[in-house]
Structure 1
Amino acid sequence: MSTFGQVYILLTGDDRAEFGSNCVALVVVKAGCKMGDIVCNAMAVGVIVSLGACPSVGVGLWLQGDIGHLARIYGLVCDVIVGVVIVNVDSSQVFCIGYVPS
């Protein structure tokens, strides 16, 4: 899955009203990312992402809550997911759920 390990940080600018006044960025993560990849990319642009403490864990942990060191300040990662793209491998259908930036 490491082939699908890209991370994109989109600074929200004036779109904050859509996601709440505290939202400064959208972190777009592909399925092959690990927590360490996300943290390094986010820190490079000055964004904090509340993640778990193990950098080698994949992003699937987000769906289970992902309780990390910053959870008491920023909440659980699963609470701030704004959208996902799911691909059905049997039918090749692509489902976009929530807000998925182009």
Structure 2
Amino acid sequence: MTDTVWLPEAMTRFRCNQQGCCCKQWNIRMDVESVFHIVQELPDDRTGEILDGARVIRDPADGKVVSLDLRRRAPDDRCVFLEPELTCEVHRKLGGDALPKLCQAFPV
């Protein structure tokens, strides 16, 4: 069976311009597996900053942790992985396959 997905035309033309506009002012909800893989691969001194203030999201049915809402950094409300040069630390250091599912699928 094939599912049909309707998208706004702008989403079909999306290309990352690496200006960080998608990595600011959004809830940064990441699946647990991605977060823990990234934390294991990045230097130990980043772990506290990445996980500090993260909100745990649990499945209401069984209480299992399903995702984490990572705290955004002030002053411009950016993702904890968005570097000052507006590049993604995860993508730069670990490659595109290491990006969380949310980031790999964006903007869909």
Q: TM-score range by the shorter chain?
A: under 0.3
Q: Which one scores higher on RCO, CA 8 angstroms, separation ≥ 6?
A: 2
- Please identify which structure carries the higher strand content: 1
Q: TM-score, normalised by structure 1?
A: 0.26
Structure ID, larger Rg = 2
Q: TM-score, normalised by structure 2?
A: 0.26
